[in-house]
Amino acid sequence: MHPANYPTAWEHPPTRRAWAKQTTISVLAFIGWFLSPWCLLILLLAFYSLALSIFIIILMGYGAYRAKIQPAQILANVRIRRVLRAYPWRLDDIPYSFPTLPGGTPTKLCLKIPHPAQPGETFLMYQHLRDLHTWWTRRMGPRAKPELKAQLKPIWFVGDPRFFGVIAVTKPGSAPETPAPKRMHLIVQVGETKQTAPIDVNSWQASPEDLAHARQAIGWRGPRG
């Protein structure tokens, strides 16, 4: 059955397998980065030399840095699972752009996603470029090669664009009748953070049921008073 026909994305078996694989890779990467400084330290003690020590110390620092930031990816996968369990997939040709500042520097990605409360209308969902994985920016950028941009058709989306969602692409080689997702990435609407007050949700036409669903799905706290 087509993934968009399932009540929630999590009920789509290839989606569950894709999430499990992505999460497993993240956990193994954390273990690898965590152990790498200690392994390099043993190597340094066994084969000490000045030139080698400088090189290994640099690698140890990088490994420690990656081990520090990797848990954020694991946490993102946990949140992705919660979104997948609460909303169905949409496989649309989602237009995107990079709004620029007056100086001409883009800082955000803008996705035009069908508005859940207004059929036929689109809703603008923003993501800071600093929070977007390099794999996506290389294919979405204005200078991306056509063969790279072709990998984004279609862009999968699950969630509520007024608050948060997950984007993905089709796994290469999967059957057109039963495609599988790959490269799932969590997007949180700009302004929907603990540090920043959100945009007026009344202008989004978010019903109390929509807000309750969002809170239940990912722990979204909603607008502050």
Say yes or no: 40 and 100 in one domain: no
DSSP state of 150: G
Last residue of a domain, one of 69, 84, 99: 84
Say yes or no: 101 and 211 in one domain: yes
pLDDT along the chain (225 residues), means of 10: 90 95 95 89 80 83 90 92 93 78 68 83 80 83 84 89 90 85 88 44 69 76 48
Last residue of a domain, one of 84, 109, 144: 84
pLDDT of amino acid 31: 94
Q: How far apart are CA 18 and CA 181, in angstroms?
A: 7
Say yes or no: 72 and 130 in one domain: no
To 10 degrees, the CA torsion angle through 83, 88, 92, 94? -20
Beta bridge partners of 163: none
Q: How far apart are CA 22 and CA 133, in angstroms?
A: 14
Say yes or no: 111 and 17 in one domain: no
Say yes or no: 193 and 116 in one domain: yes
The reply to whether 21 falls in a domain is yes
Say yes or no: 151 and 126 in one domain: yes
Residue ranges making up the domain that contains 140: 89-218
The reply to whether 126 falls in a domain is yes
Say yes or no: 80 and 153 in one domain: no
Say yes or no: 44 and 145 in one domain: no
Residues 6+ apart with CB under 8 A from 138: 144, 148
Say yes or no: 79 and 156 in one domain: no
Count H helices, E strands: the chain?
5, 7
The reply to whether 66 falls in a domain is yes
Say yes or no: 33 and 120 in one domain: no
pLDDT of amino acid 157: 92
Last residue of a domain, one of 27, 61, 84: 84
The reply to whether 45 falls in a domain is yes
